[in-house]
Amino acid sequence: MGTNTSSIVEQSLTALLDDSTFLPELSGEGRSKAFTSLTSILSTPNHVHKSFLRVALQDGRVIRIPAFRVQHNNIIGPYKGGIRFHNSVDEDEVSNLASLMTLKNALHEVPFGGGKGGVVIDPKDFEVKELNLICRKYVQYFSQVIGPEKDIPAPDVGTGEREMDWMMGEYKSIHPGMKYRGSFTGKSIVNGGSLGRKQATGKGVYFSLRYMLHDFVTAEYKWLTERDNIFAKTVLDHKDKSLTMAIQGFGNVGSVVAAEAKKCQLLNNKVVAVSDSNVTLYNAEGLDITELIKYTKTNDGDLPTNEESLKEANVKATICDRDELLTLDVDVLVLAALGGQINQGNMKNIKAKILVEGANAPITGDADSYLSEQGTVIIPDILANAGGVIVSYFEWLQGRETQFYSEEQVYKKLYDKMQNTFKTVYPQYFGDAFPLRQNCYIHAVMKLSTVLFKQGKLY
């Protein structure tokens, strides 16, 4: 389990309680009671749906698979969040990720609430027909609680546009005559998906890094030099530096981050290491990202694992254990795999001074606190990996309007929206003592708290 979202929500509300400029209508005992209500509302989900999917396998066996759909909060709009297929899925993880989605959408002014789904399987253990059945069963079991105006799932770890197409098709069959295009996002283009959706999370992750180290530092250089701020010192130390980068995870997010780093002309960076669930590949001179992406596309998404497959991929690299990547002596570490990767057991061995969370909750709370105290800049998941849900919102809008954006329009809208958020949180991060994650949570909690108060939900 990664960072506990509810504990950071409580910390954010504690910080806001004594700020008389926030919700000035509340004072005295009434203010304390309202903040107690906010803590209760924002730290618990509205609904936890759990079922055991009955699935008939190709070999004649019938199995029951645990499945979840957690709906955290919908005060801003319909629940929204991915469905992950992974062996590590459990109720606590899904609930934590659902609350993160609520906060992420609030931070980026996306009119959705937070939800999350999960199925406890390793997709590689099942035939295509079996996966299709699992997807259809998921929709059948939760069909009454999802929909375009209720709860809109999307891809996550272990799922993609194929699974979303299957699920949308099943939703359409169960609800004939009803609007169905907006029931799922992350679909294929032919089924109403948005151009750029598949690459959106990775592009947003890299943009959050590039904007901080280039755009913001360039524009605010003099101001940053005047700050007595440990994080400002870290980014200034990396200004105009030749940056080395390691990327954990080389799937839809990590591979796109690597590709963006390769083509970026504004930062002098090179990717020296990448890893997946099998291996770490390292080359101090920089890896050939183009060839690696080409190789993974024809090898079930896996990186080369031996000298023979490296030769086949036409890539020069040293083969290392998959976990070695985390402790390499690099400038930037992008975490684009699973949660809880940096924890109490390895946090003191992390050498990178800039960490970017492409995955959800890859750094535990203890590790986050320790690294922040060392002046490590952590661009958190709530900020960095919002590209997927932002473009999911664009997809949802396009489906409603049946008018579609070009890929160029999608990316411009994505960058504009993320940039607006950066302009809000980066100055405060470098101007006060709170880590960036805490700053982001405070802004999200302020938005949610204001809406809850205005709608009379605190009484």
Contact criterion met (CB below 8 Å) for 275 and 341: no
Contact criterion met (CB below 8 Å) for 302 and 296: yes
The bridge status of strand 318-320 relative to strand 79-85 is: unpaired
Spatial separation of the C-alpha atoms in residues 1 and 381, rounded to whole Å: 14
Supply the DSSP string of 26-72, one letter for each residue: --HHHHHHHHHHHHHHHTS-SEEEEEEEEEE-TTS-EEEEEEEEEEE
Contact criterion met (CB below 8 Å) for 210 and 264: yes
- The verdict on whether 116 is a catalytic residue reads yes
Q: What angle do CA 240, 243, 244 make, to 5 degrees?
A: 175
Spatial separation of the C-alpha atoms in residues 295 and 303, rounded to whole Å: 7
Contact criterion met (CB below 8 Å) for 458 and 452: yes
Active-site hit among 50, 80, 104, 116: 116
Residue 101's alpha-carbon distances to 73, 113, 184, 208, in angstroms, are: 9, 7, 16, 18
Cβ burial of 63 (10 Å; 0-12, 13-18, 19+) is middle
Residue 51's alpha-carbon distances to 46, 62, 67, 135, 174, in angstroms, are: 17, 15, 5, 13, 18
Q: What are phi and psi of 318, to 5 degrees?
A: -95, 135
Contact criterion met (CB below 8 Å) for 355 and 329: no
In 277-404, the DSSP E strands lie at 280-282, 318-320, 332-335, 354-357, 377-379
Q: Which residue is associated with the tokens 């907006």?
A: 182
First to last CA, the chain: 33
Alpha helices in 124-220 (DSSP H): 128-142, 161-174, 197-210, 217-219
Catalytic positions, please? 116
